[in-house]
Amino acid sequence: MTQRRLSGWGRTAWTVADVVEATDPMSVVAALSTSGPRGAIARGLGRSYGAAAQNAGGLVLVNHLEDPSAAEFLLDADTGVLEVAAGVSLDEILRRSVPRGWFVPVTPGTRFVTVGGAIASDIHGKNHHVDGSFGQHLEWLDLLLSSGEVVRLSPSEQRDWFWATVGGMGLTGVVVRAAIRLIPIETAKVTVETERLGDFDAVCAAMADPAADDQYRYSVCWVDLLARGASMGRGVLTRGDHAPRSALSNGAQRTEGALDYDPKVRIAAPPWMPNGVLNKWSIKAFNEAWFRKAPSRRHVGLESIAAFFHPLDVVRNWNTMYGSQGFIQYQFIVPLERTDVLRAVIERFSSAGVASFLAVLKRMGAQNDAPMSFPTKGWTLTLDMAAGAVGLPRLLAEVDEMVLDAGGRHYLAKDSHVSPSAVRRGYPRFDEWLSVRDQMDPRGLWRSDLARRLSLVDTGNAE
């Protein structure tokens, strides 16, 4: 056990905790025997942006399994059901499953997340509008409770506990194992249709129609928040699906090597960056280049899995690009009919001069049965900004109100700052989740900095 300073991917709100590697149930139980009044939380690869996987003054159980054994990675070649230890990353899963013709049912913008983290955040990807979120593709999960007991939960067995754990931010227990239904693929390529859209209305119109958008398994739009005037909110829409063998041009490729998959992390960001390198001007230049790079007319092509799903993974530690001040990622969702709020939020950030390196818009599908799962029918917009920007707390509080007033909510895996009341307003089933959580963890063992800030667990000031 070592004391370590931890933060989320955004490198803000650092706190110190006792950190223990615990990749199997036995070591989790052993580590828990040392936990003090400030409780414990599991941590995977630390990709949630805020304080979800850190526990100031308490215990953090790191569960990232680099090289799972055969027993920790059981892929049924007929059904595509993968039984896997929770510390295994999607990167590791893809390296082993893609060559055998299987793909993860949901992937976020990075493949460096663990299965445990994917369940706790109930992650979503570019296919949410048709396939839903990660929790919907589980056969079952094994959860280690604060009592030390491991229980198997599924949508049919102890379903309340199952759905409280999906999206439960690790506050119901430690996921130790799960069975995931993978999807079959014929090739390691994606057919991608790219379209440049001149303004925000065009962006919304292109994605709003389910009849058109639902024909694509994957659909997402990059939006330029710094473009002003007529081209405000212009974007590049990319949609696609896994390419069938027939889409490969080369005859030889169609038979051999169609499923070759070996993504590389090519560049490392410098270990330190001065604050302010990513500023309004540098990002404006980047956005302009990105927009121009996209073909002006609709274009269909083939892309690799890594290029299509995980473009940022090419740069290792890209999170250091914002310098020592760190950055936040603001992700919210509003109902489909509230494109006016999307526009108002974009205008508010744009007029405040808060640059965004990455702004992504997506139309989401229906909500699942998990009370704390983020995705629900609506538009989700995601933007990055430097954490040290002057006046940011006030600006964010203003935007939070706009989102909540419109019936929207914030994604806890990204959250850096919302108030306890924002969670209660945004997630109408919060109280229901809380009572199931308390039932699952009567002694209140599971704690995180996020849980403290948002009063997700009653600590009774007794820590």
Partner 1 sequence: MKNGVGVAQSIVLFGGTSEIGLAVARRLIVPGTARLVLVSRDPSAAEMAAVDIVDRSPDLEVHHIRFDAADAASMPHVVAEVVSAIGDIDVAVVAQGVLREGHDYFADPATVSEVVGVNMTGVMALLYGLADRLRSQGYGKIVLLSSVAGMRVRRSNPVYGASKAGVDGFALALDHELTGSGASILVVRPGFVTTRMTAGMRKAPFSTDAETVAARTVAAISSDKRIVWVPSALGAVFAVLRSLPTSIWRRLPF
Q: In the bound complex, what is the minimum distance in angstroms from residue 417's beta carbon to partner 1?
A: 4
Q: In the bound complex, what is the minimum distance in angstroms from residue 330's beta carbon to partner 1?
A: 10
Place of tokens 């600590």: 459
Of 202 and 392, nearer to partner 1 (C-beta) is 392
User: According to the binding rule CB under 8 A, does residue 449 interact with partner 1?
Assistant: yes
Q: Are strands 315-316 and 183-184 parallel, antiparallel or unpaired?
A: unpaired
Query: Where does 231-339 show beta strands of DSSP type E?
Result: 235-242, 267-268, 299-304, 315-316, 327-334
Quickly count: other Cβ atoms within 10 Å of residue 421's Cβ: 12
Which region among 89-97, 123-131, 150-158, 447-455 touches partner 1 (by CB under 8 A)?
447-455
Whole-angstrom distance, CA of residue 115 vs CA of residue 47? 12
Q: In the bound complex, what is the minimum distance in angstroms from residue 329's beta carbon to partner 1?
A: 10
Which residues is 386 bridged to in the sheet? 327
Q: In the bound complex, what is the minimum distance in angstroms from residue 385's beta carbon to partner 1?
A: 9
Q: In the bound complex, what is the minimum distance in angstroms from residue 220's beta carbon to partner 1?
A: 25
**With contacts defined by CB under 8 A, how many residues of the chain interact with partner 1?**
39
Whole-angstrom distance, CA of residue 325 vs CA of residue 308? 30
Q: Quote the tokens at residue 277.
A: 């390198």
State which of positions 327-356 bind partner 1 (CB under 8 A): 328
Q: At what angle do helices 339-351 and 200-208 cross, to 10 degrees?
A: 150
Which region among 147-155, 158-166, 336-344, 445-453 touches partner 1 (by CB under 8 A)?
445-453
Q: In the bound complex, what is the minimum distance in angstroms from residue 114's beta carbon to partner 1?
A: 22
Q: In the bound complex, what is the minimum distance in angstroms from residue 387's beta carbon to partner 1?
A: 5
Q: Which of 16, 208, 294, 402 binds partner 1 (CB under 8 A)?
A: 16
User: According to the binding rule CB under 8 A, does residue 5 interact with partner 1?
Assistant: yes
Q: In the bound complex, what is the minimum distance in angstroms from residue 279's beta carbon to partner 1?
A: 17
Alpha helices in 146-213, H assignment, sequence order: 159-165, 200-208, 210-213
User: According to the binding rule CB under 8 A, does residue 268 interact with partner 1?
Assistant: no
Which region among 5-13, 27-35, 211-219, 300-308 touches partner 1 (by CB under 8 A)?
5-13
Residue 224 contacts residue 359 (beta carbons within 8 Å): yes
Whole-angstrom distance, CA of residue 300 vs CA of residue 298? 7
> Could you give the count of Cα atoms lying within 13 Å of 305 in the half-sphere of its Cβ?
28
Q: Are strands 150-153 and 138-144 parallel, antiparallel or unpaired?
A: antiparallel
State which of positions 372-431 bind partner 1 (CB under 8 A): 387-388, 392-394, 396-397, 415-417, 419-420
Give the CA dihedral 328, 330, 331, 332, nearest 10 degrees: 150
State which of positions 53-92 bind partner 1 (CB under 8 A): 55-58
Q: In the bound complex, what is the minimum distance in angstroms from residue 276's beta carbon to partner 1?
A: 14
Q: In the bound complex, what is the minimum distance in angstroms from residue 347's beta carbon to partner 1?
A: 20
User: What does 94-162 look like in DSSP terms, one character per residue?
Assistant: HHHHGGGTEE-S---S-S--BHHHHHHTT---TTHHHH--GGGGEEEEEEE-TTS-EEEE-SSSSHHHH
Q: Are strands 299-304 and 174-181 parallel, antiparallel or unpaired?
A: unpaired
Which region among 111-119, 229-237, 428-436, 451-459 touches partner 1 (by CB under 8 A)?
451-459
User: According to the binding rule CB under 8 A, does residue 326 interact with partner 1?
Assistant: yes
Whole-angstrom distance, CA of residue 54 vs CA of residue 119? 17
For the window 36-55, what string marks contact with partner 1 as x by the rule CB under 8 A? --x----------xxx---x
Which region among 39-47, 62-70, 292-300, 323-331 touches partner 1 (by CB under 8 A)?
323-331
Residues in touch with partner 1 (CB under 8 A) = 3, 5, 8, 10, 12-17, 38, 49-51, 55-58, 324, 326, 328, 387-388, 392-394, 396-397, 415-417, 419-420, 449, 452-453, 459, 461, 463
